[in-house]
Amino acid sequence: MKNYAIYYLFSFIFFCSICKSVGAQEIVQIDSLNKILKSSKSDSIKANCMNKLSEIYRAVGNLDSANYYSFKSLKISKRINYKQGVATSLYYLSIVNYIRGNYINAIDTMTIAAEMFKTAGNLKDYSSLLSVIGGIENAMGNLSSALDYQLQSLKIKEIIGDSTNLPTAFNNIGNVYASSFEFEKALSYFQRALKLNIKFKKFNVIPDNYFSIANMYSTMKCDSLALVNVNISIHLSDSLGQIESLSYSYGLVASILLEKNDFKGASEYCMKSLAISEKFDDKRMIAVNCKRLGIIYQKNGEKKKAESFMLKALQIAEEINFLENVIECQYSLSQLYEENGDYQKALLYYKECKDAEAKLFNEEKGKEMTRKEMTYEFDKKQAINKLEQNKKDAVAREKENKQKIIIYSISFGLLLVLFILFVIFRSYRQKQKANYIITQQKNEVENQKNIIEEKHKEITDSINYAERIQRSFLATTELLDENLNEYFVFFLPKDIVSGDFYWANKLNNGNFVLVTADSTGHGVPGAIMSILNISSLEKAIDQGLINPSEILNKTRKTIIERLKKDGSQEGGKDGMDASLICFDGLNQKLTYSAANNPIWIVRTKNVIELSPDKMPVGKHNNDDVPFTHHSFDLQKNDMVYTFTDGLPDQFGGPKGKKFMYKQLKELLINISEFPMLKQKDILTSSLNNWKGDLDQVDDICLIGIRI
């Protein structure tokens, strides 16, 4: 959960990055826009200028001025029936409400603006507003509604072909799933966002994609995959000069290493993260890093340093009202003082911890009442701000008139000439400087592009080579043709390499054995696991075993023994779900043993289901229970189907749901009498029609054999 808290903060920052960045040039823009306001006679131009001023003031944190200009623009736009101006003003007013925590008013106002964009046929802005509304619903904890808005936004982007903004939509959907603790779904959407950003060459956000993926893997306790992805994020952030992003990546590495009790490594990365967060005055990350360092020093027995960092973390967390971190610091200090024998301080911080927990609970409980109060306070403050701004405008106009009198009383002509010469000279210098900066930036972007493309090619080439190696372990066409009458193999990896596999061999008694299996994981980890599983099966066969249950029992034992060496205390719990069937051609008999994967036999339009044992081939609570041996009498023209869960679990259809085993069973019944190639073609088209534009979620393997 600590990793997830940091992730939520980081993903919130990434979500807010849709607002335009501002810098010193905004001061020049404000002056220019004010001049246009004074000189323009067009009300629509004035309304647009005021909305632009609102956007700039919001970006620099001046919410009162931002609200003032949006309100004035709204008033003008309504008077002249300028619908685009009305919609934009309402949108900007709702953003201010959102930042101030007035979520209900923000959603109400933004919904009106969204409908106006929709009515005007401006589907691109309509889609963007739906996405922002979804983000507000997510912040309010209305996760179901948040997901609905994000999916509506995604659908519109797909309809209008707004493909370059699809990665943002996928990332926002991933954030909703992460908030609802559906980490696998969140991971899937983050990976889709990364894939599209690489395709569209959006290099500046690719490091953030890798960080989100890494944090999901860390939350799911897949530390090795988390470290791979976060190290890619660190490398790219460093190459692109995105220094502030490194703070979060270093912090994630520190958190993973701390969980592994690698205190030296955790301390090193924590100090790196702290240095960057102090440079950018990111107080939340400073507090998190100081608390983490305190825990590391406590574990190492350096009690003084531990106390120093924990107290610093507590002080900063209290300053910024970071209650979650306050509670964690107070609890850690209580434990530290208890270890030191200072029971008075230990009790003091324990009580403060409990008080802070009660305060946090009360704050959550009072959020709804606070929002209602903020609505009233906001309306009242808006009226006061309007009166104060009117006074400021009157003073400014009077001062401007006096300055004009003074300026006109002196040599206006000479000053005008000097001013024109100055403007020409300054414009020439600025143009030279801008051209130089643009050239430098283009060169840097091209260099970073080449680096990323080269890395991507290296990774892809390696995986393609790995696919050739894995394929050499699968059952060959020659072996299957020699031992089976009619058959087809429907094998479709999710990625280039696969965790699913099919393997076959001849037993010492002359029977033919066929295994259809789903290894733990997919992609590269799944492929590595499949090779381990196949080699374990081969070892069991080489020892002369011919009984299916004995083969699976021996395979399970070999897998468990090998995975004990993975460095963890209990040994890896990976393995496979599999069905192992043996054909006795002379006696028309099928013997089998199965782990989680059933075997279906279609006979005269009816399905006979051969049930599996409810346990995997690998470490399990019941791994001392032997697999069950079964036999079944076959008849001519029986269709035997073995498969993994990839096809039933595929999302798609009109409602985006799973294909399910029931639908697969009906499909196999309907096609069972067709020739093998036609059955395979129908399965392929059925899968493609079902998933549509959605990605394949898992490896797929289905084998059909006619007796």
10 Å Cβ neighbour count for 414? 9
For the residues 30-43, what does the mean pLDDT come to? 87
pLDDT at 23 > cutoff 50:
no
Show the beta-strand stretches assigned E in 544-691: 575-584, 589-595, 599-603, 606-610, 617-618, 630-633, 639-643, 651-652, 657-658
- In sequence order, what are the beta bridge partners of 500? 518
pLDDT of residue 62: 77
Amino acid at 106: A
CB within 8 A of 532, min separation 6: which ones? 559, 562
pLDDT at 590 > cutoff 90:
yes
Question: How much of the chain, in percent, has pLDDT values that exceed 70?
Answer: 84
pLDDT of residue 567: 60
Task: Return the sign of the alpha-carbon dihedral for residues 128, 132, 135, 141.
Answer: negative
Task: From 214, 178, 211, 210, select the one nearest 195 (Cα to Cα).
Answer: 210
10 Å Cβ neighbour count for 107? 22
Q: How far apart are CA 594 and CA 611, in angstroms?
A: 8
Amino acid at 456: H
Residue 309 or residue 239, greater confidence: 309
Q: Could you tell me the CA-to-CA distances from 192 to 127, 168, 257 in Å, in that order?
A: 19, 10, 28
pLDDT of residue 390: 56
10 Å Cβ neighbour count for 468? 9
CATH number of 291-365: 1.25.40.10
Contact between 92 and 66 under an 8 Å Cβ cutoff? The reply is yes
Contact between 699 and 529 under an 8 Å Cβ cutoff? The reply is no
For the residues 566-578, what does the mean pLDDT come to? 75
Number of helical (H) and strand (E) elements in the chain, helices listed first: 25, 13
pLDDT of residue 501: 96
Of the spans 174-183, 270-279, 679-688, which averages the highest pLDDT? 679-688
C-alpha angle with apex 442: 441 to 448, nearest 5 degrees?
90
Instruction: Please enumerate, as own/partner, the contacts of 609-615 that have beta carbons within 8 Å and a separation of 24 or more.
Output: 612/579
For the residues 417-437, what does the mean pLDDT come to? 73
Q: What is the pLDDT of residues 354-369, one digit of tens each?
A: 887 777 666 544 433 3
For the residues 226-245, what does the mean pLDDT come to? 86
pLDDT of residue 4: 37
pLDDT of residue 407: 66
pLDDT at 550 > cutoff 90:
yes
pLDDT of residue 674: 96
For the residues 171-196, what does the mean pLDDT come to? 88
Question: How much of the chain, in percent, has pLDDT values that exceed 90?
Answer: 42
C-alpha 561, offset from chain centre: 35
pLDDT at 453 > cutoff 50:
yes
For the residues 13-26, what does the mean pLDDT come to? 39
For the residues 213-218, what does the mean pLDDT come to? 92
pLDDT of residue 396: 64
Q: How far apart are CA 116 and CA 85, in angstroms?
A: 10
pLDDT of residue 595: 97
Q: How confident is the model at residue 1 (pLDDT cuts 50, 70, 90)?
A: very low
pLDDT of residue 100: 66
Where in the chain are the domains?
A: 291-365, 473-532+576-617+631-706
Collapsed DSSP state (helix, strand, coil) of residue 545: coil
Mean pLDDT is lowest, of 401-410, 548-557, 599-608, 628-637, for 401-410
Q: How confident is the model at residue 691 (pLDDT cuts 50, 70, 90)?
A: very high
Q: What is the pLDDT of residues 503-537, one digit of tens each?
A: 999 999 989 999 999 998 888 888 889 999 999 99
Q: How far apart are CA 3 and CA 186, in angstroms?
A: 15
- In sequence order, what are the beta bridge partners of 613? 595
C-alpha 388, offset from chain centre: 45
For the residues 295-322, what does the mean pLDDT come to? 89
Task: Return the sign of the alpha-carbon dihedral for residues 645, 154, 240, 61.
Answer: negative
pLDDT at 6 > cutoff 70:
no
Question: Which DSSP symbol is given to 262?
Answer: -
pLDDT of residue 142: 77
Q: How far apart are CA 189 and CA 195, in angstroms?
A: 10
Contact between 92 and 58 under an 8 Å Cβ cutoff? The reply is yes
Q: What is the pLDDT of residues 617-660, one digit of tens each?
A: 999 888 899 999 999 999 999 999 999 999 999 999 998 899 99
Task: From 492, 514, 516, select the one nearest 683 (Cα to Cα).
Answer: 492
For the residues 266-292, what does the mean pLDDT come to? 88
Mean pLDDT is lowest, of 5-9, 119-123, 195-199, 292-296, for 5-9
pLDDT of residue 375: 32
For the residues 444-462, what does the mean pLDDT come to? 70
Q: What is the pLDDT of residues 97-150, one digit of tens each?
A: 876 667 788 888 888 988 998 998 889 889 888 988 887 887 676 778 888 888
Q: How confident is the model at residue 432 (pLDDT cuts 50, 70, 90)?
A: confident
Q: How far apart are CA 579 and CA 592, in angstroms?
A: 7
Q: What is the mean pLDDT of the chain?
A: 83
Query: Candidates 3.90.1150.10, 3.40.1160.10, 3.60.40.10, 3.30.450.90; correct CATH number of 473-532+576-617+631-706?
Result: 3.60.40.10
pLDDT at 377 > cutoff 50:
no
pLDDT of residue 402: 66
Task: From 203, 212, 209, 131, select the one nearest 173 (Cα to Cα).
Answer: 131
pLDDT of residue 383: 39
For the residues 158-182, what does the mean pLDDT come to? 86
